Amino acid sequence: MSRARWATRELGPPLAGVAGLIVVWAVVAALTTSRALPSPLDVWNALRHGVADGTISRAAGKTLIRLAFSFGVSILVGTALGAGLALNEFARRSIRPLVVALQIAPSIALLPLAIVWFGFTERSVVFVAIAGAFPSVTLATVASFRQVPPLLIRAGRTLGAHGWDLYRSVIFPAALPGYMGGLQQAWGFAWKALLAGELIVGTARATGLGQILARSQQDVPALLAALAVVVVIGVAVDYLVFGQLDRKIRGRRGLLLET
Amino acid sequence: MAEIASDLSHLPAARPRSPKLSVRNLVKTRATAAGATITAVDRVSFDVAVGEFICLLGPSGCGKTSILNVLAGLDRPTSGEALIDGRPITGPGPDRAVLFQEPALFPWLSVLGNVELALRLVGVPEVERRGRAMAWLENVSMGRFASAQPHELSEGMRQRAALARALACEPDVLLADEPFGALDAQARELLQEELQRVWTEREAPMTLVFVTHNVREAALLADRIVVMSAAPGRLVEEQRMHAPRPRHLDDALVSRVVSDIHESLMQEVDKGVAREMGD
């Protein structure tokens, strides 16, 4: 299949959905003429303006740096803890429920505590994002290790793999699809928690997208422009990074249903 | 037993015809989900000579696979022992390659990658791996499919690749656990031929223990057939096969052994059914 045809088949339907939404929005905005719902064009202009004067691009950059840091720490902490829990049954039975509890709790509920500890600072926001994201990584790591087919481990052992070699050659690659699913989920949680944190913790020096959302209630086009940037970043990373990696990893293993 | 063992201890350890594998009074029990204990293998003893091809033949659930797993070092005997070259088997190792019921190829690696991994694990230097892996694949007519992923192949081709991977370790012993059981009739026949050929053409003697419930397969492949009873598995008879190789299913000698063994095996199956019915 040619690249162009692939792009049409893959991207056509979601782009059609977005186009439909914009059309409906434009019609409703034209009929209501309320300041509460600006037209798509107003929002587009606000977005261009925000990018031109640097408010939106600076805020997006700031938010992305926080996100990269929080997500990176979540991967390191979550994977290390998950590997530990996968290897030790007592640790798994005692600590896993606590991680599940943290996973279920809305991470923004930790923000007041974070503010007590770190004040109205960037650190509080990052703390909440990490607390929201690492449990997914940990739980996916535990589950993916434990779901490695025993037959493959037996095959590896009869071929002479043991100890670290068995992990490197068999267990890690066999666990990879489940682990990547956990990272994808953690990305979503980190993004949500970070934005929620930024909305509440407005710091004067370090404005992120969440802070723009929080202070734009008087300027609805700017608010919607920032919201659009939030949505686009979230979808783009989910689809272009995790979606494509997942396709590659599963496709190689024959785990994709051809549609 | 202990006295006899100590009496023999003054003999040299490596006698010329000492068995490659020995199973001594092997008992294997396992717990069911309901908590009961089932005896899968009941006091089984046999030897396998260096370079011999034996088939463990018996009805489903007679503990053939349990014996094979003990020989592979994947399971421990409940009591009794399993020896290789006179030493107890303590764990799995590439000196005893295993062909499982399923091909057990690593799905993230290509066919070639699977064989190369086996070579890496036995310590073949990186520069030699590709060439040697290709040679093993060519040997089982899989050269053309070296770059395929396992999921792109038929079950028969996958099992062929698994055979290449097992042979690449250049094992002293090949343990096969009904490896052709899930194949269609044509693929099974081709692989039986292939296995006979690689075993006959081997440079160093390769001892082969092949588990099957298929009498014809056993008669076709084995130097010696060890027939097991229905659960709990015991040895009921042994049959030596003197037919020349390569053998075919319609060879007169093969068919005669098949009908002989078939009869005693059917009796065992009947006994097993009778036991299950509570007689």
Q: What is the pLDDT of residues B251-263, one digit of tens each?
A: 887 888 888 887 8
Q: Which residues contact A153 (CB under 8 A, 6 or more apart)?
A: A166, A170, A171
Would the CB atoms of A157 and B121 count as touching at under 8 Å?
A: no
Whether pLDDT at B277 is above 80? no
Across the range A62-70, mean pLDDT stands at 90
Q: A97-111, B26-40, B155-169 — which one is most confidently predicted on average?
A: B155-169
Q: C-alpha distances in angstroms, A176 versus A53, A89, A143, A180, B166?
A: 43, 21, 11, 6, 25
Q: Which residues contact B14 (CB under 8 A, 6 or more apart)?
A: B85, B86
- B97 or B5: which carries more pLDDT confidence? B97
User: Cα–Cα distance between A2 and A118 in angstroms, integer?
Assistant: 53
By C-alpha distance, the chain A residue nearest B101 is A151
Q: Which of A151, A165, A169 sits opposite B104 (nearest CB)?
A: A151
Task: Classify each residue of A174-183 as buried b or exposed e, where b means 16 or more C-beta atoms within 10 Å of its C-beta.
Answer: bbbbbbbbbb
Distance from CA of B255 to the nearest CA of A (A): 35
Across the range A96-104, mean pLDDT stands at 90
How many residue pairs from chains A and B have C-beta atoms closer than 8 A?
68
Provide ipTM, 2 decimals: 0.86
Q: Which of B117, B121, B149 sits opposite A252 (nearest CB)?
A: B149
Q: Which of A154, A174, A254 sits opposite B149 (nearest CB)?
A: A254
Across the range A33-58, mean pLDDT stands at 84
**pLDDT tens digits along B114-159:** 999 999 999 999 999 999 999 999 989 999 999 999 999 999 999 9
pLDDT of residue A54: 81
Return phi, psi of residue B151, to 5°: -70, -15
- A199 or B113: which carries more pLDDT confidence? B113
Q: C-alpha distances in angstroms, B110 versus A171, A191, B143?
A: 17, 36, 12
A169 vs B contacts (CB less than 8 Å)? 117, 120-121
Whether pLDDT at A245 is above 60? yes
Mutation pick from A151, A152, A154, A159 vs chain B, by most beta carbons of B within 10 Å, is A159
A252 vs B contacts (CB less than 8 Å)? 107-108, 149
Q: Which residues contact B127 (CB under 8 A, 6 or more apart)?
A: none
For a pLDDT cut of 90, what percent of chain B falls above it? Answer: 53
Mutation pick from B75, B121, B178 vs chain A, by most beta carbons of A within 10 Å, is B121
pLDDT of residue A214: 76
pLDDT of residue A223: 84
Q: Which of B74, B104, B165 sits opposite A152 (nearest CB)?
A: B104
Distance from CA of B91 to the nearest CA of A (A): 9
**pLDDT tens digits along B20-64:** 999 999 999 888 888 888 888 888 999 999 999 999 998 877 788
Return phi, psi of residue B210, to 5°: -120, 120
Least confident of A235-244, B64-73, B241-250: B241-250
User: Cα–Cα distance between B150 and A208 in angstroms, integer?
Assistant: 48
DSSP string, chain A: --HHHHHHHHHHHHHHHHHHHHHHHHHHHHHH--TTS--HHHHHHHHHHHHHSSHHHHHHHHHHHHHHHHHHHHHHHHHHHHHHHHH-HHHHHHHHHHHHHHHHS-GGGGHHHHHHHH-SSHHHHHHHHHHHHHHHHHHHHHHHHHTS-HHHHHHHHHTT--THHHIIIIIHHHHHHHHHHHHHHHHHHHHHHHHHHHHH---SSS--HHHHHHH-TT-HHHHHHHHHHHHHHHHHIIIIIIIHHHHHHHHHTT-SPP-
Distance from CA of B229 to the nearest CA of A (A): 27
Would the CB atoms of A157 and B74 count as touching at under 8 Å?
A: yes
Whether pLDDT at B6 is above 60? no
B91 vs A contacts (CB less than 8 Å)? 157, 162
Whether pLDDT at A133 is above 70? yes
pLDDT of residue A32: 85
Would the CB atoms of A159 and B149 count as touching at under 8 Å?
A: no
Mean pLDDT of chain A: 87
User: Cα–Cα distance between B158 and B155 in angstroms, integer?
Assistant: 5
Task: Classify each residue of B217-243 as buried b or exposed e, where b means 16 or more C-beta atoms within 10 Å of its C-beta.
Answer: bbbbbbbbbbbbbbbbbbbbeebebeb
Confidence of residue B8 (pLDDT cuts 50, 70, 90): very low
Confidence of residue A258 (pLDDT cuts 50, 70, 90): low
Contact B227, B261 (CB under 8 A): yes
Q: How many C-beta neighbours within 10 Å does residue B191 have?
A: 20
Q: How many C-beta neighbours within 10 Å does residue A253 have?
A: 19
**pLDDT tens digits along A157-216:** 999 998 899 999 999 999 999 999 999 999 999 998 998 888 888 765 667 888 878 777
| H or E segment to which residue B29 belongs | strand B21-31
pLDDT of residue A205: 61
Mean pLDDT of chain B: 86
pLDDT of residue B17: 64
Tokens 């798994």 found at = A92
Q: Please name each of the domains of chain A with its CATH number.
A: 60-219 (1.10.3720.10)
Cα–Cα nearest to A70, from A119, A127, A108 = A127
Mutation pick from B66, B71, B101, B106 vs chain A, by most beta carbons of A within 10 Å, is B106
Would the CB atoms of A254 and B121 count as touching at under 8 Å?
A: no
Tokens 């009074």 found at = B25
Contact B201, B139 (CB under 8 A): no
Would the CB atoms of A152 and B117 count as touching at under 8 Å?
A: no
Q: Please name each of the domains of chain B with its CATH number.
A: 42-95+171-279 (3.40.50.300), 106-170 (no CATH)
Confidence of residue B69 (pLDDT cuts 50, 70, 90): very high
Which tokens is B210 given? 């092949």
B149 vs A contacts (CB less than 8 Å)? 252-254
Q: Which residues contact B122 (CB under 8 A, 6 or more apart)?
A: A159, A160, B94, B168, B169, B170
Q: How many C-beta neighbours within 10 Å does residue A97 have?
A: 10
Across the range A125-138, mean pLDDT stands at 92
Would the CB atoms of A252 and B122 count as touching at under 8 Å?
A: no
For a pLDDT cut of 90, what percent of chain A falls above it? Answer: 36
Across the range B262-272, mean pLDDT stands at 76
**pLDDT tens digits along B224-240:** 999 888 777 888 888 88
pLDDT of residue B14: 46
pTM: 0.83
pLDDT of residue B278: 61
Does the CB of B129 have a partner CB in chain A at under 8 Å?
no
**Chain A contacts to B (CB-CB under 8 A):** 151-152, 154-162, 165, 169-170, 173-174, 176, 249, 252-255
Q: Is B162 exposed, middle or buried (0-12, 13-18, 19+ CB in 10 A)?
A: buried
**At B88, is the secondary structure helix, strand, or coil?**
strand
Would the CB atoms of B97 and A173 count as touching at under 8 Å?
A: no
Does the CB of B184 have a partner CB in chain A at under 8 Å?
no
By C-alpha distance, the chain B residue nearest A149 is B104
Across the range A85-93, mean pLDDT stands at 89
User: Cα–Cα distance between A61 and A233 in angstroms, integer?
Assistant: 11
